[in-house]
Chain A
């Protein structure tokens, strides 16, 4: 550690000695870009100590080459021109680290995804490559050694939400010996799942699955469980949250419980789409109900009883797919926030098919119609419901999403309702179907999470659900370290998917606690106290409230823990008193100037 610090100090005083390594990428780059010519041209530029190429920079020999040249040529800066930094920037930073050079004295230039793969003309591609490497040289001259931030993590977890996802996450964490506080806003554990009967695809009874899980959670001393509980206050920062929880029955304020935790899992779930008054007859006709209303009814119904609604026997049931999902502007009314749900809610096709099969099993005489846009029975064991439903005589009508079905009173009075639609399966023939019961396959939408979103600075997608850092590389993490996505707060999911997500979140949270600390990139913003006037403009731009005012000094101060490195404050400061490490004004401007081929220090017009 001391050796590294000494080397860092040395580097600050040295002239840049830059090593430029250009990757052939096995032809992916070199088939288009004349990498050898680029290496030669770049080698002539000032401060470039070595400029060379290699077949695969990311391979062991490729990395070895960098390490070798760092020692041999006394390099104190390294540029690798290769694929996108999203793939291997980390790899090469580690290479530098192994060679005893600060990993942030590195620049990764993208000449594959953004050059060789998109530019046909070899000459233009080669010149573009030279320009981009020249820009990197301009930038790298100004880079200084940086250290990752290490934030300690208090070894305890908070799970918000006592549904199946929250229970799963809490149990998994407790299994690893971690203290958990589990809070549930409602009056029972098990959430939405507890209302259901048979669930797809295993046909288990929902509560048969929930009961042992709940018992496990309640039995262990590692988990403190509170129902009727909500967060009143949350203070602290990453790895060190101090949370006040209000526990009260029937909405009355009760005791306040405190939790000191290092990680938080958001398992708050979502809500059902509430059809608008009049949408497919909802609220106008008592015969229109939602899919989940039906599911809850079926739990209560004893088999063998006749299927009735308000005393009237039910013969014809119509299911409507895509209610509150896959909506179109101009066709569907936006919700209270002015937004439509243009996404697919995933669970409903299989849910409807499952309910249709369930109904057919209990009441074989029923005529069942399904009005669908597409059938998305994508999961393991889901397609079987479609096959079964077809075999059992469920009739499918495929509607045009821009001309959805109509639900209206039967003018002839033979049936309570009629459902009319065009059928794309029969070349847009108009279909009219009698219905004693219309079941709307309602979608799922994000619930009002504004308080939590504000508290923990969650990124939110355009669909109003919480947004993960990266859907493939970091699917259950939020941009704020230590807060994880445990289930359907992230998007419409069925129980299978929600429990998988919760288990993943639990695993990630446990890993963080086991590490004891989280490493964060050093690209934070810093205030120059001599230049800061305390005008407070930066305070209003930080998305994370990481900037506060030091009343004594009358200047802005930025929390190292909370700053996520967006650089917005740095761009807003009218005095340029805030600089973002790794992206400060000198670094970015030099990159621009070098890109345009301007030697530094020259004023405009000279």
Chain B
């Protein structure tokens, strides 16, 4: 690296790149809603891979950061509608976490369209399908996030692999 200044390289969009979105879904409402889309044979984009938790309240913001940090182009968090939570008000806690989390992600340059938080009921298969397709297209327009690539190019975790001083 001979030049003083470094510029963050724009990620190259490989051919055939598909947005990779991690979806955290609560079992009782949103996961079941996603199943409902399947039962109704609604076709939608395959880009959201679902990780099941019992309640959206389980979704620690740490998990959202982890997903982005390790290569997700987008993250979706779904829970039961307010008032419908299987665990009474676990989803209230999810909701309360969202403003700070969204602000933190935005402050770190992650475009708001890459993180979505929605309420999906067990009967809203159609809504889920539309949500997935819509978010996939938005993320596709934004391109890959490639956080590991960005951090790697800045030497995070490995430095410049230099020789010890004097050698």
Q: Which secondary structure dominates where chain A touches chain B? A: loop
* Cross-chain contact B51 with A591 (CB below 8 angstroms): yes
Q: Given the complex, which residues of B lie within 8 Å of A4, measured CB to CB?
A: none
> Out of B46, B67, B84, B155, which one reaches A125, CB within 8 Å?
B46
What mask results when residues 55 to 73 of chain B are scored 1 for a CB within 8 Å of chain A, else 0? 1011111110011011110
Is the C-beta of B152 less than 8 angstroms from some C-beta in chain A?
yes
Q: In chain B, residues 21-43, which have Cβ atoms closer than 8 Å to a Cβ of chain A? A: 22, 32, 34-35, 37-39, 41-43
Q: Which chain B residues border A114 with CB–CB below 8 Å?
A: 34-35, 38, 50
A461-491 interface code vs B (CB 8 A; 1 in, 0 out): 1100001010000000001000000000000
User: Please, which residues of chain B bring their CB within 8 A of the CB of A461?
Assistant: 83-84
Number of A positions contacting B (CB below 8 A): 57
B70 close to A593 (CB less than 8 A): yes
* Nearest CB of chain A from residue B41's CB, rounded to whole Å: 6
Q: Which among A86, A131, A580, A603 is the interface contact of B32 at CB below 8 angstroms? A: A86
> Is there contact, CB below 8 Å, between A567 and B22?
no
A149 contacts the other chain (Cβ, under 8 Å)?
no
Closest residue to B153 on the A side, CB-wise? A605
User: Which residue of B is nearest A453, CB measured?
Assistant: B88
A564 within 8 A of B: yes
Contact residues in B for A459 (Cβ distance below 8 Å): 84-88
The listed residue with most B CB atoms (<10 A of its CB), out of A459, A479, A568, is A568
B70-A117 in contact (CB<8A): no
Q: In the bound complex, do residue A588 and residue B43 qualify as a contact, i.e. CB atoms below 8 Å apart? A: no
Contact check: which of A112, A543, A596, A606 meets B38 at CB < 8 Å? A112
The answer on a CB contact under 8 Å between A541 and B93 is yes
Residue of B35, B42, B44, B66 near A110 (CB, 8 A) is: B35
A457–chain B nearest beta-carbon distance, Å: 6
Query: B20 at interface (Cβ–Cβ under 8 A)?
Result: yes
A462 and B83 contact, Cβ closer than 8 Å, known pairs A543-B89, A583-B53: yes
With both beta carbons as reference points, the residue of chain B lying nearest to A540 in the complex is identified as B93
- Tell me, rounded to whole Å, the shortest Cβ–Cβ distance linking B45 to chain A: 8
- Residues of B with C-beta under 8 A to A479: 86-88
Q: Chain B residues near A460 (CB, 8 Å)?
A: 83, 88
Whether, in the assembled complex, A544 has its beta carbon less than 8 Å from a beta carbon of chain B, the answer is: yes
B contact residues around A570 at 8 Å (CB) = 58, 60
Chain A 114-145, CB-CB to B under 8 Å as 1, else 0, gives 11011111001100100110010000000000
Query: Size band of the B side of the interface?
Result: 35 or more
Contact indicator per residue, chain A 572-606, by CB within 8 Å of chain B (1) or not (0)? 10001000100101001101110111100001111
- Residue contact A604 to B53, C-beta cutoff 8 Å: no
Per-residue CB contact flags for chain B residues 80-108 toward chain A (1 = under 8 Å, else 0) read: 01111111111001000000000000000
In whole Å, how far is B44's beta carbon from the nearest beta carbon of chain A?
Answer: 6
Contact flags B112-148 to A (C-beta < 8 A → 1, else 0): 0000000000000000010000000000000000011
A120 to B41, CA, bound (A): 10
B49 within 8 A of A: yes
Contact across chains for A567 and B88 when beta carbons are under 8 A apart: no
Interfacial chain A residues near B129, Cβ < 8 Å: 118
The answer, yes or no, to whether A566 is at the interface (CB within 8 Å) is: yes
In the complex, how many angstroms separate the beta carbon of A148 from the nearest chain B beta carbon? 15
* Contact, CB under 8 Å: B41 / A117: yes
CA distance A567 to B62 in the complex (A): 14
Instruction: Give Cα distance in the complex from A115 to B49, angstroms.
Output: 10
> Does B157 sit within 8 A of A, measured CB to CB?
yes
User: Is the beta-carbon distance between A589 and B63 smaller than 8 angstroms?
Assistant: yes
Out of A85, A86, A571, A595, name the residue touching B60 (CB < 8 Å): A571
Q: How far is the CA of A543 from the CA of B57 in the complex (A)?
A: 10
Q: Kindly report which residue of chain A lies nearest to residue B75, judged by CB atoms.
A: A592
How long is the Cα–Cα vector from A117 to B46 in the complex, in angstroms? 11
Would A565 and B54 count as touching, CB distance under 8 A? yes
Question: Would B70 and A596 count as touching, CB distance under 8 A?
Answer: yes
Known: A84-B35, A568-B90. 18 other contacts (CB 8 A): A86-B32, A114-B34, A118-B44, A118-B129, A131-B49, A135-B49, A541-B57, A543-B85, A543-B87, A571-B57, A571-B58, A571-B60, A580-B58, A592-B70, A593-B70, A604-B147, A605-B151, A605-B156
Q: Which 9 A-B pairs have the closest CB atoms?
A: A113-B38, A567-B58, A568-B57, A605-B151, A605-B156, A605-B157, A566-B87, A571-B60, A566-B55
Q: Please, could you name 6 A-B residue pairs with CB atoms under 8 Å apart, sorted by A?
A: A114-B34, A543-B89, A564-B87, A580-B58, A598-B70, A605-B151
Give residues in A with beta carbon < 8 Å to B: 84-86, 110, 112-115, 117-121, 124-125, 128, 131-132, 135, 457-462, 467, 469, 479, 523, 541, 543-544, 564-568, 570-572, 576, 580, 583, 585, 588-589, 591-593, 595-598, 603-606
